[in-house]
Amino acid sequence: MPRNLTALVMAAGLGTRMRSATPKHLHRLLGRRVVDWALIAVRAVGPERVLVVVSPGTEDAYDGVELVLQSRPRGTGDAVAAARPPLEGFDGDLLVVSGDSPLMTAEVLQGLVAAHEQSRADATVLSFEPARPLPYGRIVRRADGLLDRIVEDRDANPEERAITELNTSTYVFRASALWPALARIDAENAQGELYLTDAATGIAAAGGRVAVHRSDDELAPIGVNTRADLAFAAGVLRDRVNEGHMLAGVTLVDPHSAWIDADVELEPDVVVHPFTVLRGGARVAGGAEIGPHAVIDGAAIGPGALVGPFCYVRPGTVLEADARAGTFVEIKNSRIGERSKVPHLSYIGDADVGADTNIAAGNVTANFGHRGGPKKRTTIGRDVKTGVDNTFVAPVTVENEAWIWPGTVVTDDVPSGALAGFPPRQVNREGYVHRDRDD
């Protein structure tokens, strides 16, 4: 870990180009907010302190960091200046990272900090050369390779706009050089804002040593300013997450159509078929197959289980080993026992299903909650066989080895080994399953 390094993440901008009531830093990407991805990269560098500059009204969105309030959106230079009071007396290096950079990696930041220490610079700017043109500030170097100035895209002349090395809004400053430079900047620019880039330029103009470290990763510094940027970042993060799972032994039949949140856990030998979404901290054990066209949200899928196609498994659900949730099935807050099957066209909610049970087509658990109270539960035992078009009106219990006649609305408990049904009114024939009979 670098000695005496503090990190400052700038997350105060509202992101008007997102055209959203939600600040751009708080939009979600693969289960995390934009700023969370940046914070993960920053923390991996090992700073002694992490501060986040926020705008009014967003303070409750953060845990585990020191907050700095930028009362008015006056630019990046003002955002960093707002952090001076909590950093009073700090004489180390300040790593400044934009909170709208979800593609930033720990490796890139570690390279920047190492380059700063090696060059013994007063400031070091992270640059990159993207494959496509971007409206970022241009890096103008001196003959010796050090920074001469940074020119914002709006303020650049044609010659400066032709420069392909761009600024990333990521820096390391020596605190002793930063604060005087911030005091000298003004808002005489196209945006009428205080640019942090002018602080870096000002240090160089005053005779300071400002190094430039070019990122080897041309995607890491790209920020999010529009919904199009958000979608681009999501695609890059999806590919990173999916590659990690594949290298760990997961089969993704079509990694470009599988969307897996960063907090999802997949064991080796899981198979994920095309057009599948896994989110909400879902956990899938080895040997399970998911999809195609399945959504697993906050559920636990046991070893050897089969889910899909066209299946929605919602939070609170546990599919035990070798269980099956099939086509056009929705399961919510339920436990499906080992080897049990819900093969097609059913809704199972707030239910407990034992092992080796078969839920036939068109079954529904009607889990009513009185006046907004907690949902009632349905309990279906082991080795139960339901009929097509059954409805279970909770709270109700179907005991082990019972059968349910097709079309039955189950309103009363069903004893073990009974056959229940015969619409329009339920009748229980006790002992029917094990009775000697010719019919």
Domain 249-429, CATH = 2.160.10.10
Residue 373 has pLDDT above 80, yes or no: no
User: Could you read off the pLDDT of 272-304 as tens digits, one per residue?
Assistant: 999 999 999 999 999 999 999 999 999 999 999
Residue 150 scores a pLDDT above 70: yes
Residue 202: phi, psi to the nearest 5? -65, -40
Q: Taking 60 as the threshold, does the pLDDT of residue 371 lie above it?
A: no
User: Does the pLDDT of residue 439 top 70, yes or no?
Assistant: no
Residue range 233-256: average pLDDT? 98
Whether 2 shows a pLDDT value over 60: the answer reads: no
**How much of the chain, in percent, has pLDDT values that exceed 90?**
84
pTM for the structure as a whole:
0.90
390-406 pLDDT per residue, tens: 999 999 999 999 999 99
Set 27, 213, 245, 344: catalytic member: 344
Q: Which pLDDT value is given to residue 68?
A: 95
pLDDT, mean over the chain = 94
Q: Cα–Cα distance between 52 and 98 in angstroms, integer?
A: 10
Domains 5-214 and 249-429 share a fold: no
Residue 71: the pLDDT is 87
Q: Does residue 1 register a pLDDT over 50?
A: no
pLDDT at residue number 152: 87
Distance CA 201, CA 173 (A): 12
Q: What number is the average pLDDT over the span 244-271?
A: 98
Instruction: Give the closest residue to 334 by CA, choosing from 372, 288, 301.
Output: 301
Instruction: Please give the average per-residue pLDDT across 161-184, as a whole number.
Output: 95
Q: Minimum mean pLDDT among 24-33, 86-95, 184-193, 377-386: which range?
A: 184-193
- In this prediction, residues 428-433 reach a mean pLDDT of 87
Please give the pLDDT value at position 437: 59
**For residue 3, what pLDDT is reported?**
63
Cα 435 from Cα 401, distance rounded (Å): 13
Distance CA 230, CA 232 (A): 5
Percent of the chain with pLDDT over 70: 97
In the annotation, is 344 catalytic?
yes
Contact 429/408 with Cβ under 8 angstroms?
Answer: no
Residue 188 confidence class, pLDDT cut points 50, 70, 90: confident
Q: Mean pLDDT over residues 138-149, rounded? A: 95
Domain limits of the chain? 5-214, 249-429
- How does pLDDT run across 57-67, given as a tens digit for each residue? 899 899 889 99
Q: What is the pLDDT of residue 427?
A: 80
- Write out the two tokens for 229: 């940027």
Query: What CATH class has 5-214?
Result: alpha beta
Strands lying side by side in the sheet with 277-279: 259-260, 277-279, 294-297, 311-313, 329-332, 347-349, 364-366, 391-393, 409-410
In the numeric block, the tokens 């003002």 are attached to: 78
